A and B are shown apart, each in its own frame.
Chain A
Amino acid sequence: MRPLVAMRIAGFVRGGRALAPLIAVLVELGIIYGGGASPAAVAYGYSAVALFPVLAWLTKLLLDTEPDVQRRLARLSVGPAREATAGLLAALVLSLAVCVAAMAAPWLFHGIDTSVALGSGIALGVLAHLLAVPPAIAVGALASRAVTGSIRLGVTVLAVAAVLVVVLGLTGSFAPWLVPPVMATARALNDPAVPPAGELALLTGWAAVWCAVAFAGYGWLRRARS
């Protein structure tokens, strides 16, 4: 499976399609950290929310880069389950790289306030990004051409999911559990006090269950389509 993951990352990066989401990440970093230093937990909470739609988009672009016929060749070579998993792993590798860059960047231009609880702030920031990455990959995968079959439907799935994650994630939402806890995590990190372990466990469990359902749906949809 490793060679297929490497082949897909190479195809995506060399093809130049990675440029657009990369620019979007730079713009977001500029907006988040341009206004002066803020505590690590708060800044990283916003960063995870802002990265969510970009990482979903990145995943869709990555999965859509490979021509349909090549995807079918890969599927014949390694089997349907490993072919689908290799695409998700390729997206995971790139998404984690983007998160590491996004968390390191503010240190270059003093975007993090080092006078308040730095260690716990960074740890919470890492958790916030880790909770945002898998659901973003799931959304991007569900919007990919292999599932949606058309550009219009794929873009619609991506856009609607990105909006719903914010709208249904607001305080007082009627169905917050319909979307992954990206906004809820950012709110928890916005609190000056470190959130209790129970709350963090709840957020992690929520994200895990949401991802399990979303990836199961992806697997089922991919099984039915070539």
Chain B
Amino acid sequence: MRFEQVWFRYARRADWTLHEVDATVEPGATVVILGRNGAGKSTLLQLAAGVLRPGRGAVRSRPGVVGWVPERFPADQPFTAGDYLRRMAEVRGAPESAVGHWIERLLLTEHAGTRLADLSKGTAQKVGLAQALLVPPGLLVLDEPWEGLDSVARTLIPDIVGEVTAAGGVVLVSDHRGEITALPGALHWTVAEGTLQVTTAPPAAPSPAALSPAGSGEEDEVIVEVAVRRSEADRAVVALRASGHRVLGVRG
């Protein structure tokens, strides 16, 4: 899939949100899109998915089946989670068995009869993830997929990403919270000042393991258990990773 000199703006006289975006993704690749809030990550992802049309330039060779997980799931609909997924499966031409499979796999069974509007943010996010996977996607676009998910569900995302890329699909993920370490081998693109910089190495400080020769750093590691206030857990994880530590898990 190729971005060819893609320019985009939201209104005719507005400033360009993105300009001169040029990039290529090979089949089977995972790309993590980094950038601060409002940099244009979501816009780039929607251009990739085909939800937005470029003002200039084009996105070429987009795979036929696109699964898009929007940043916020549109929960303002009078359906239960199960009913919504069954209807989306019909709309997308997916077999009914796909609905049961994803409800079970994403731990949605007990929420299948709950109205979308009554779901918690994380559960609604999982329904958004399920609808994107009903038909195996050739391009999976995940806009901040970790947002609101509990620690069990978080671990599912790398597996799902791995399955899509193993089948030759492309996965684009945006992330501003430093969860990227969960996706080894991913390419990194940074959106800044309205354009895209393609960087292959993670921009975060290299971990001690990566600095030590032959990657044998893990032998020198010790496990330190740390307790932090629940409200600060996310920030602590990001800070620990930024200083080069490996966060093995979060519980509680």
Contacts and interface: CB of A to CB of B under 8 A. Distances in A.
A26 interface: no
Contact of A74 (B53, B72, B91): B91
A76 B49 contact: yes
B77 interface: yes
Q: From DSSP, what is the main secondary structure of chain B's interface residues?
A: loop
B66 A11 contact: no
B90 interface: yes
Interface residues of A, number: 22
B91 A4 contact: yes
Contacts of B79: 10-11, 14
Given A73-B70, A226-B52, A226-B53, A78 B91 contact: yes
B217 interface: no
Interface in A175-215: none
Contacts of B46: 72, 226
A106 to B, nearest CB: 33
A72 B51 contact: yes
A195 B37 CA distance: 66
Contacts of B90: 3, 7
Interface stretch (A62-70, A110-118, A165-173): A62-70
Which interface residue of B46, B49, B68 has the most chain A CB atoms within 10 A?
Answer: B68
Nearest to B83: A10
A4 B72 CA distance: 21
Interface string B64-104: 00101010111011110000000110111000000000000
B158 interface: no
Interface string B34-72: 000000000000100111110000000000001010101
Given A67-B77, A76-B68, A78-B92, 19 more contacts: A3-B90, A3-B91, A6-B87, A10-B79, A10-B87, A11-B77, A11-B79, A67-B74, A68-B74, A69-B73, A69-B74, A70-B74, A72-B70, A73-B70, A73-B131, A74-B91, A75-B51, A224-B53, A226-B46
Interface of B: 46, 49-53, 66, 68, 70, 72-74, 76-79, 87-88, 90-92, 131
28 contacts: A3-B87, A3-B91, A4-B91, A6-B87, A7-B87, A7-B91, A10-B78, A10-B79, A10-B87, A11-B77, A11-B79, A72-B51, A72-B68, A73-B68, A73-B131, A76-B49, A76-B50, A76-B51, A76-B66, A77-B88, A77-B91, A77-B92, A78-B91, A78-B92, A224-B53, A226-B51, A226-B52, A226-B53
Interface of A: 3-4, 6-7, 10-11, 14-15, 66-70, 72-78, 224, 226
